[in-house]
Amino acid sequence: MPNANDPNTVLQPFLGQVEEICLVTADRERTARALSRLGIGPWRFMEIHPGNSSEQTYRGRAQPFSIRLGFAEVGGAVLELMQPMDEHSIFAEHLRRKGEGLHHVSFTLDGEPWDERIKAFEARGFPVVQSGLWMGAVRFAFFDTEAATGMSFETYHYPDDWTDPPGEVKWWPSAPV
């Protein structure tokens, strides 16, 4: 592979398709209500916390964290809202440093094995800064791309047979018809 640290080298593409754009917010419901005025919604609300998530890491060490999430489909992609519920996340860091707004973009795996995707980011100088395993099945990882690009990059993997667990997802204002 060419030198990932050479600013004049364009490396082979590996990211996949843009799947999700995320805004960090101090109040998920307030932001969802505002975005609904633009025709964005309905919203799937859920939470990630130590009770439903394992293997949680923050800045290279095991660290429990809690976040409230919202997802709405928009033009073939997903708009995500992320509200940190404690100080142990890159999302809380973002709110402290920059306030509310664009935080990260997520990309599909495009069939690439999970471990290979992590290695591909790391080989380019972008280690994992936050990660976890939701409901024992959904892997997610955020990479330390903010200093270089102005935002974070995420990748995640839902198993092919995934369905949302009963009681874990709430729709606002109501489920789609």
Q: Characterize the bridge pairing of strands 77-84 and 18-24.
A: parallel
Among the ranges given (17-21, 95-99, 117-121, 160-164), the one the predictor scored with the smallest mean pLDDT: 160-164
Q: Residue 175 domain-assigned?
A: no
Q: Which residues contact 96 (CB under 8 A, 6 or more apart)?
A: none
Q: Which amino acid is at 172?
A: W
How confident is the model over 129-176, as pLDDT tens digits? 999 999 999 999 999 999 999 999 999 998 889 888 888 889 999 888
Q: What is the pTM of this model?
A: 0.91
Q: Which amino acid is at 5?
A: N
How confident is the model over 34-75, as pLDDT tens digits? 999 999 999 999 999 999 999 999 999 999 999 999 999 998
Three-state DSSP class for residue 36: helix
Q: Residue 107 domain-assigned?
A: yes
Q: Residue 137 domain-assigned?
A: yes
Report which of 72, 83, 22, 19 is spatially closest to residue 42, judged by C-alpha positions: 72
CATH number at residue 50: 3.10.180.10
Q: Residue 7 domain-assigned?
A: no
For residue 63, what are the domain limits?
A: 19-158
Cβ atoms within 10 Å, residue 2: 10
Q: Residue 10 domain-assigned?
A: no
Element (H, E) at 50: none
The percent helix, strand, coil of the chain (3-state, each to 5) is: 20, 35, 45
Task: Report the distance separating Cα 89 and Cα 20, nearest Å.
Answer: 19
> 34 and 43 in contact (C-beta within 8 Å)?
no
How confident is the model over 67-111, as pLDDT tens digits? 999 999 998 889 999 999 999 999 999 999 999 999 999 998 888
Backbone φ/ψ region at 39: left (φ over 0), alpha (ψ -120 to 50), beta: left
What is the count of structural domains for the chain? 1
